[in-house]
């Protein structure tokens, strides 16, 4: 969605400040912005990220290039590089290495998705056939390996051992999180604490790494902690909303079937909260996990209970609390249109519908 036009009619707006005015105007008149509107602030460098992303999906091995094109065309929200670019600009960074690292973080994210889909036996992703259902598991496993290694190869170009260590550490934690989640599949006794641990490893660390990287680029150690805290909090909020949308959205909007987490045996916050209050609903949850193809009645019962018992609204409250924490952390950066964008983003992510 394009940014709303600047219709203040003010002829004295300086060149380059149009976007700022549009954003400010939108905030003032309370136009409902989407995360994409805010990311439009860095649309030019994001296009550069896209180029680096696509260039690194090319290969002299035809099958890699073929799958690479398919992945590139499938798109994605590009929230991780968007965050990195907003953060680097909020830090006053003027170089080009944020573009490189933005592409690296998106590459790592893509690698995890590709292997996730093999593991979850997912048929579709972003409204299209998943790589595994098009090319089979074998090529998809290898393609995921390729993406992982290539992402670290890309990161090497930046020649910064500190950032390389950060990226390698985050990626390892993500895989550990995935292993923990896999190990918990089918178990109904997953606690909120375990959920938070998995969310932190699987999602929040990559978000916080994107933001932290900005502080490293400008060598401002004092901004590292607030940016890390910002990325962590927005990452947790993002994942919590993702997990809620799995129950409240529709397949056409999500680009994948609803309740797919639960059908794969993964308990997320709303269900964990519900089962902690209503142990009698365990058989219903068990039924959905064990008979995902034939669970319409059980699923309707579950969604109704998630609403009535307040589990969805509690999850939304927790997501909002993390959004608040993110906003507070971003406020510690010096004032700029990019800082404002970082401040506005958490709420927009919490309000998103897909």
Site for a second copy, rule CB under 8 A = 59-61, 63-64, 115, 118-119, 137-139, 141-146, 148-150, 152-153, 156, 159, 161, 164-165, 168-169, 171-172, 175-176, 178-180, 182-183
- The DSSP output letter for 203 is I
Contact in structure between 299 and 288 (CB atoms under 8 Å): yes
Kindly tell me which of 14 and 159 has the beta carbon lying closer to a second copy.
159
Kindly tell me which of 183 and 296 has the beta carbon lying closer to a second copy.
183
Kindly tell me which of 169 and 297 has the beta carbon lying closer to a second copy.
169
Smallest separation (angstroms) from a second copy to the CB of 297: 29
Kindly tell me which of 141 and 245 has the beta carbon lying closer to a second copy.
141
Q: d(Cα 264, Cα 287) in Å, to the nearest integer? A: 12
Smallest separation (angstroms) from a second copy to the CB of 171: 5
Smallest separation (angstroms) from a second copy to the CB of 81: 20
Work out the angle between the directed axes of helices 97-119 and 43-55 (0-180°, nearest 10). 60
Q: d(Cα 213, Cα 158) in Å, to the nearest integer? A: 12
Kindly tell me which of 63 and 276 has the beta carbon lying closer to a second copy.
63
Smallest separation (angstroms) from a second copy to the CB of 56: 11
Task: Give the C-alpha distances (Å, rounded to integers) separating 335 from 14, 342, 343.
Answer: 18, 11, 11
Kindly state the tokens that stand for 273: 């909260």
Q: What is the DSSP string of 278-336?
A: -GGGHHHHHHHHH-TTS-HHHHHHHHHHHHHTTHHHHHHHHHHHHHHHHHHHHTTSPPS
Smallest separation (angstroms) from a second copy to the CB of 204: 17
Smallest separation (angstroms) from a second copy to the CB of 251: 24
| Closest-CA residue to 209 (of 174, 158, 254, 184) | 174
Rg from Cα positions in the chain:
21
Kindly tell me which of 127 and 186 has the beta carbon lying closer to a second copy.
186
Q: d(Cα 320, Cα 340) in Å, to the nearest integer? A: 18
Kindly tell me which of 17 and 165 has the beta carbon lying closer to a second copy.
165
Q: d(Cα 236, Cα 200) in Å, to the nearest integer? A: 7
Smallest separation (angstroms) from a second copy to the CB of 215: 20
């Amino acid at each position: 969605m394009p940014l709303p036009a600047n219709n203040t009619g003010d002829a004295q707006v300086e060149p380059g400040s149009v976007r700022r005015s549009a954003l400010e105007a939108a905030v003032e008149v309370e136009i409902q912005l989407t995360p994409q509107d805010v990311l439009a602030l860095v649309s030019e460098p994001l296009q550069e990220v896209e180029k680096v992303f696509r260039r690194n999906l090319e290969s002299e091995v035809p099958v890699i290039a073929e799958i690479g094109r398919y992945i590139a065309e499938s798109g994605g929200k590009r929230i991780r590089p968007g965050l990195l670019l907003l953060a680097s600009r909020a830090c006053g960074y003027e170089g080009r290495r944020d573009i490189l690292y933005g592409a690296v973080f998106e590459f790592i994210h893509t690698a995890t998705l590709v292997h996730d889909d093999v593991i979850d036996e997912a048929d579709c992703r972003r409204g299209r056939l998943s790589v595994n259902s098009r090319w089979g598991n074998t090529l998809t496993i290898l393609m995921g390996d390729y993406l992982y290694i290539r992402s670290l190869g890309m990161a090497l170009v930046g020649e910064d051992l500190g950032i390389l260590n950060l990226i390698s550490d985050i990626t390892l934690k993500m895989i550990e999180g995935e292993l923990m989640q896999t190990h918990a599949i089918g178990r109904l006794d997953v606690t909120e604490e375990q959920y938070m641990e998995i969310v932190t490893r699987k999602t929040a660390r990559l978000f916080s790494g994107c933001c932290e990287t900005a502080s490293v680029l400008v060598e401002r150690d004092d901004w590292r902690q607030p940016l890390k805290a910002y990325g962590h909090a927005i990452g947790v909020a993002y994942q919590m909303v993702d997990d809620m949308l799995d129950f409240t959205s529709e397949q056409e909007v999500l680009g994948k079937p609803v309740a797919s987490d639960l059908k794969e045996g993964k308990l997320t916050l709303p269900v964990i909260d519900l089962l902690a209050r209503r142990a009698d609903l365990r058989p219903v949850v068990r039924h959905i996990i064990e008979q995902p193809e034939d669970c319409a009645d059980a699923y309707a019962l579950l969604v109704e209970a998630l609403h009535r018992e307040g589990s969805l609204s509690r999850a939304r409250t927790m997501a909002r609390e993390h959004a608040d924490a993110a906003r507070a952390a971003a406020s510690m950066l010096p004032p700029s249109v990019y800082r404002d964008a970082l401040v506005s983003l958490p709420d927009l992510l919490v309000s998103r519908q897909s």
